Amino acid sequence: MAIKMSFKYLATLLLLCILNLISVPVQATTLWPIPEGVKTVEVNGYPMAYQDTGSGTPLVLVHGGFSDYRIWSRKQIPIFSKFYRTIAVSLRHHYPEKWNGVGNDYSIEQHASDVAALIKKLNLGKVHLLGHSRGGGVVFNVAKMHPELIRTLILEDGSIDSIVPETPEKQERRAAFKKRAEAARADLEADNPEKAAQEWWDNYVGPGTWRKFSSPFKALILDNIWSTTDDGDRGNVNCDEVLKFNFPILLFTGEKSSKHYADSYKELRKCRPDLPEPIVVPNATHIIHNTNPKFYNSAVLEFLNNH
């Protein structure tokens, strides 16, 4: 009897070990160095890097253009990870990859598919999903493609142009974006990344913008410099699809942000009048989480705690 019991115990233990191995994602193989403390998982054939901190209900942070998982490292992750399992991703072709602009898989749709695949691969279940700027466009498209993965959706100056009707202003903005991308590609192909970055930012925000950035922020941008060649497409999410979103949504814009983010939110709220007014973060520019982190973090946590 003892031998029989022992065999059953060992068989059960072995089965649990096998199931545990199956459920834990294997670190993906990469062709570039991975910084200490960063993990990778294979999604859609790509080794996606992410930083995983804390425990509890998952909160997934998706950066915008010119940046990567590190944009959240100093001012958000130490706060959010006290209460939530906080996962900051680096999208396809962003740092730590050293991308050279080759390929046709740098798109909102591809990035949205990758984020959804990461959520599934890590067995996260429903997540709080937060996206900044272009990353807002990414998470907006995740919501369209995989609403079953989302507990709440947070847009920080979310780039959700697809919800905005075609107007001369929108067409002009898109043309300007394309012109910046073409100029940046020409500078990069001439092996002049700093010129590409300076001209992009000075053209977008105003003369002297690049010069005012801190050295660490400039380094972050230069690590992701080929994202300046993004064509500005933000996927295709329409009102009918937004009406199917069955999760709470929080909207942020900065007091000093470009007006078109608030305009996009107005169009979104025409589709969904039940959505609350966007939170306008005082004294914040487009990178809201960096320019007024105390206000921003408090508002995010209050929202998450209520859902």
**Lowest-pLDDT choice from 26-30, 69-73, 87-91, 166-170:** 26-30
Instruction: Output the pLDDT for position 24.
Output: 54
Instruction: Output the pLDDT for position 31.
Output: 82
**What is the domain partition of the chain in residue ranges?**
22-167+230-305
Instruction: Output the pLDDT for position 204.
Output: 86
- Mean pLDDT within 170-184: 92
Instruction: Output the pLDDT for position 179.
Output: 93
Q: Which residues of 24-57 are buried (b: 16+ CB within 10 A; e: fewer)?
A: eeeebeeeeeeeeebebbbbeebbbbbbbbbeeb
pLDDT in tens, 279-302: 999 999 999 999 999 999 999 999
What proportion of the chain, given as a percentage, has pLDDT over 70?
A: 92
pLDDT in tens, 101-160: 999 999 999 999 999 999 999 999 999 999 999 999 999 999 999 999 999 999 999 999
Contact status, residue 260 vs residue 268, Cβ threshold 8 Å? no
**Hey, which CATH number is domain 22-167+230-305, 3.40.50.1820, 3.10.450.50, 1.10.630.10, 3.40.630.10?**
3.40.50.1820
Q: Is the pLDDT of residue 16 over 70?
A: no
User: pTM for the complete prediction?
Assistant: 0.91
Instruction: Output the pLDDT for position 9.
Output: 46
